[in-house]
Chain A
Amino acid sequence: MNIKDRILEIVPEAQFAEQGDLTATIPAESFHALAEKLRYDEDAQFDFLLSLTGMDWGETLGVVYHLESTKYGHSIVLKTMTANRENPELPSVTDLWKTADFNEREVFDFFGIRFVNHSDMRRLYLREDWVGYPLRKDYDDSLNPLRMTNEVTEDTTDELSLDDEGNLVNKTNVLFEDKEYVVNIGPQHPATHGVLRFRTSLEGENIKKIEPYCGYIHRGIEKMNESLTYPQTLALTDRLDYLGAHQNRHAVCMCVEKAMGVEVSERVQYIRTIMDELQRIDSHLLFYSCACMDLGALTAFFYGFRDREKILDIFEATTGGRLIQNYNTIGGVQADIAPDFVKNVKEFIVYLRPILKEYHDVFTGNVITQQRFKNVGVLTREDAISFGATGGTGRASGWACDTRKRKPYAMYGKVDFKEIVYTEGDCFARYMVRMDEILESMKIIEQLIDNIPEGDYQVKMKPIIRVPEGNYFASVEGSRGEFGVFIESHGDKFPYRMKYRSTGLPLVSVVDTITRGAKIADLISIGATLDYVVPDIDR
């Protein structure tokens, strides 16, 4: 079935853009009805909201939705906008996709668009007393000096809803009652893996509700990108999810290359794929170390870090960087691989195989591990899709969401590897997915490492890179989920808007759902196995 015809059937006034990805512009009044049809209709079934991006087009404010169907694999981009810049209001889609909850709060935070029927319209990243909306083009930064007063945390939140007669009414929702016992965890807490803050309502030892607070490491990278040239924006991508630095940068390079129609050489594709997989092993080793340390197994932490250093050595020899490598460039990579790269990688793989067995001996079979991981924090497949929790978390819940399989890029279409899928959805499944993925990554590297073809490592690019006008989206499988880049270009050397699909934001939004009723100590197991990186959430 043609999706374009289908949309025109429901909303005749929809407009389609020809440039870039297939994009439909829908008037705000009919947007929710269309979204509902696309979500639930048997032959559409767009059940995965990949990305939700706020936009400022000068005259209008709007939102871009990237939808996908996990059943049919088709995708569509929807746009909706409002011309009212004073009080912009758009319909909320939180009732259709749960991931819209946090994403719409993000859009409200950055653009001031209020979503009708969203039950929790608070800022997500910035302080409550922040003046203005930073990603609007007319934002004035001088209104927001550094405030050193302690932030007040409100227990209530606003909702803009429609009453029976169709009028907009303001409603106040209560997050935590006065009598509730609320424990504050973070932002400086070793088990939150960064500066994340949870307010946890407890009933005895059981968790009643968790309210995550983000933004303690929000650096405004997306806004900064709007005044940086394309090659300059690359430097900041490595600092988003620093355990997926190669993959993040790969995504941005791929998106710009796709937009400009640049073909990179096969040698570059090989190098990028190998580097991505090494990075994935690096990230999963760190995951293992930290998850074990959170559960009190300090020896395992030393083991994991000992072996991770070997990967960092390989990175350093080729790229010059340990943690942040700045290696991919638009049209290639920064430098050719080091002379002993192939030898070192092969030695490392031979070294790691028996070590992995040792890891399992040390930690996996342990009674404490089993009891703290099994049947704890169960995430169902439906919730995983609805929240957009991709990566190891989604695959542990039985959702085959690997971007490398769904939308093969670089060399992934040509190598043989298995997508690890568990169905339990608990902490133990999430842990095992990552441990097994290390083996698959090694398998991919082994298939490629001996056959790196000769060729250039960098395509000659123009000194100033201009991306043709249009919308572009590219995504890669990051270390902890699908990392996507959305670029809207107006033909300049700067992107008009550059949005990253954070891999961590959906993972944090599921915390409340899967911890309900669990013990407070389980929060640590759940947080450890969700494996989020906070700078990637906050961007």
Chain B
Amino acid sequence: MEIKKPKIKSMQYEDFQDNEYLEKMVAELNAEGTNVLLGKLDDLINWGRSNSLWPLTFATSCCGIEFMALGAARYDMARFGFEVARASPRQADMIMVCGTITDRMAPVLKRLYDQMPEPKYVVAVGGCAVSGGPFKKSYHVVNGVDQIMPVDVYIPGCPPRPESFYYGMMQLQRKVKLEKFFGGVNRKEKEEK
């Protein structure tokens, strides 16, 4: 079965600016090939999953306030199916790392990540989570959450505007749509030696 470019309802494929990595994923999927029945089932499941991504309520600083603004009336993330913010990592699909991660917080964040069930996604929101941001030179700040766990989408900004949040979240939706739920290219964590 041939796998096509991922489409989401909210925005046209061409309107996104970062399509190269998706094209690579599509090519990889097509090279491996899949059974029509499982492929269709995958499509169906991914359609559901991408439209009901449940975030963990996790915010350390400024970006967290913008995350709250997403949940409120004007930006209303319920339009995209992100509104079910969970306070427990065991019920969450993805973690939006909103804010600076410090040395003391890093093990806690890693534990939260480990507690989330697979398949799970990480969105690094804001300059601090992407690279350490304005606090890069500090003695107590982790320079990017990708040092402690794999990141799916980076959203730059300090703090990012709610529109940027959505751009990043829709990128994640498209990524989810290109996964084989029944094994294959689902991201597996590397085993620790």
Contact = CB atoms under 8 A, between A and B. Distances in A.
B103 A127 contact: yes
A302 B72 contact: yes
A335 to B, nearest CB: 18
Interface string A302-323: 1001100100000000000011
B111 A150 contact: yes
A179 B105 CA distance: 28
A146 B158 CA distance: 24
B22 interface: no
B27 interface: no
B107 A217 contact: no
Contacts of B106: 146-148
A443 interface: no
Given A134-B140, A306-B73, A235 B134 contact: yes
Nearest to B74: A309
Interface stretch (A159-167, A187-195, A266-274, A484-492): A187-195
Interface in A265-318: 286, 289, 301-302, 305-306, 309
A254 B127 CA distance: 28
A289 B112 CA distance: 27
A505 to B, nearest CB: 16
Contact of B159 (A216, A243, A323): A323
Interface string B72-113: 111000000000000100000000000110111111101110
A194 B108 CA distance: 14
A148 to B, nearest CB: 5
B110 A126 contact: no
Interface string A499-539: 00000000000000000000000000000000000110000
A372 interface: no
A236 interface: yes
B140 A220 contact: yes
Q: Max chain A CB contacts within 10 Å: which of B57, B61, B73, B158?
A: B61
Contact of A189 (B87, B137, B147): B87
A149 interface: yes
B54 interface: no
Contacts of A195: 60, 105
A323 B66 CA distance: 8
Given A243-B65, A306-B73, A535-B61, A146 B138 contact: no
Contact of B62 (A188, A220, A224, A324): A324
B104 A305 contact: no
Interface residues of A, number: 46
Contacts of A125: 104, 140
B104 A127 contact: yes
A17 to B, nearest CB: 30
Interface string A171-195: 0000000000000000111100011
Given A188-B112, A305-B68, A144 B139 contact: yes
Contact of A187 (B108, B142, B148): B108
A151 B62 CA distance: 25
A66 interface: no
B138 A322 contact: no
Contacts of B108: 187-188, 216
Nearest to A536: B61
B124 interface: no
B74 A146 contact: no
A305 B103 contact: no
Nearest to A127: B104
B154 interface: no
Contacts of B135: 219-221, 224, 236
Given A134-B140, A147-B103, A224-B135, A242 B73 contact: no
Interface string A214-227: 01111111011001
Interface in A221-266: 221, 223-224, 227, 235-236, 239, 242-243
B107 A323 contact: no
B169 interface: no
Contacts of B69: 305, 309
Of B59, B61, B104, most A-chain CB atoms within 10 Å: B104
B11 to A, nearest CB: 22
B60 A151 contact: no
Interface of B: 57-62, 64-66, 68-69, 72-74, 87, 99-100, 102-108, 110-112, 134-135, 137-142, 147-148, 158-159, 161
13 contacts: A127-B104, A148-B106, A148-B148, A190-B87, A216-B60, A216-B108, A219-B100, A236-B134, A242-B61, A302-B72, A305-B72, A306-B74, A323-B62
Interface of A: 125-127, 134, 139, 141, 144, 146-151, 187-190, 194-195, 215-221, 223-224, 227, 235-236, 239, 242-243, 286, 289, 301-302, 305-306, 309, 322-324, 534-535
Given A139-B139, A302-B72, A305-B73, 18 more contacts: A144-B139, A147-B107, A189-B87, A194-B59, A195-B105, A215-B102, A216-B102, A216-B104, A220-B135, A224-B137, A236-B135, A239-B134, A243-B65, A289-B72, A305-B72, A306-B72, A306-B73, A324-B62
